[in-house]
Amino acid sequence: METFQVQTDDGHTLVVKAYRPHGVVARRAVVIAAALGVPQVFYERYAAWLVQQGCVVYTFDWRGMAESAPPNLRHYRAKLIDWALHDAPTIMALVAQRHPELPISWFGHSMGGILWGAMPQHPQIDRVVTLGSGSGYKTYVARPLRHVMGVFWHVLVPLSVARHGYFAGQRLRAVGDLPRGIVAQWKRWCASPDFVMSEGEAVRQAYAAVTVPITAVLFTDDNMASPEGIRAVHAPYTQAPVQYLILSPKDVGARAVGHFHFFHPRTGPQGWRASLPWLGLA
C-alpha cells in the first residue's frame, strides 16, 4: 500500500492510498469514495480484498476530513459541493493518468455516492456503485433516526460549532470532525425535500446529463438511509440506467450490515463477493 498527497485544482491537499496487486495484471481500477465523516482507513480491508480479485484500488480522504484535514479545523473553509467539483475530479484524473489502460469503477459509500451526479464525468469510469446513498431530508431518513434529526440539527450541531469553530463529531460519536462550512451546506440540503438538487439548476442539469450505469445498493437494516430516500437521490439521473438492489444482511451472509458494516471484517470475503458484479468484476 502506497500513501501520498495530491493537490486539487483549487490548492487543497488530499491524502490518497493506493493498493496494487502483485504478480498479476490488474483488470480494473476501483475508487472508493468515503461517507461523510468516515476516514479512508475504514475501507482498507475491503480495498485489500479487492486487490486479491485483480484490482488496483484507491481510497482518499475528502478535504477537511481525517488525513486531508489541517491540524485545526476552526478556520478551515470548505463546502460540501467542493468534494464533487474539485476533490473527485482530482482523484479521477490521478487514477486515469496512472492506469490509462484500465476501466474505472466508482464505489461511493453514502455521501461518496450521493455526490456522483455533481462530479465532472470521466470517460474511463464505466460503472458506478452507490451504497446507502439516500436523501437526508427528514421524511426520507430511516426510522427511528428521523425522529431525532431535529435535535441533531438545531441543538447539537449549533452548540458544537459555536464552541469549537467546527463540528466536533468525534466528541459526540456522531460522524467525524467536519469543517463548519461543510456541515452548514449539509444542513441546508437536509432541510429541503430536493436535498442536493436544492443547490441549483446547474447541479440538477449535471445529474440529468449522467449516462453511466449506476447500481444503487441498500441493506434492509440500514438505520440511516431508506428505500424512499435512495430513490429520491437517484431520481434526477434521467438518462442513466439505475439498478436498485435492496438486500437483506442474509443476502451477503451477514447477521447485520446497517449503514456501515458492509466494509467491516464481520461481513468479510463471503459477503464482499456480492459486490463483484456491481463493480463489473463478475
180 assigned to some structural domain: no
The structural domain count of the chain equals: 1
Q: For the domain that residue 257 is a member of, what is the CATH number?
A: 3.40.50.1820
Q: What pLDDT is attached to residue 264? A: 93
Band of residue 166 on the pLDDT scale cut at 50, 70, 90: confident
Using a cut of 0.75, tell me whether the model's pTM lies above it.
yes
pLDDT digits 0-9 by tens, 177-202: 999 999 999 999 999 999 999 999 99
192 assigned to some structural domain: no
Mean pLDDT computed over every residue of the chain: 94
pLDDT digits 0-9 by tens, 82-119: 999 999 999 999 999 999 999 999 999 999 999 999 99
237 assigned to some structural domain: yes
User: What is the enclosing helix (H) or strand (E) of 167?
Assistant: strand 166-167
Mean pLDDT over 64-72 rounds to 95
Q: What pLDDT is attached to residue 174? A: 72
58 assigned to some structural domain: yes
User: What is the enclosing helix (H) or strand (E) of 252?
Assistant: none
Q: Which residues are registered as beta bridge partners of 56?
A: 29
241 assigned to some structural domain: yes
30 assigned to some structural domain: yes
Edge to edge, the sheet with strand 55-60 lists: 2-7, 13-19, 55-60, 28-33, 104-109, 125-131, 214-219, 242-247
Contacting residues for 243 by C-beta, under 8 A, at least 6 apart? 213, 214, 215, 216
Cell for 54?
485483480
The parent domain of residue 107 ranges over 2-135+201-275
161 assigned to some structural domain: no
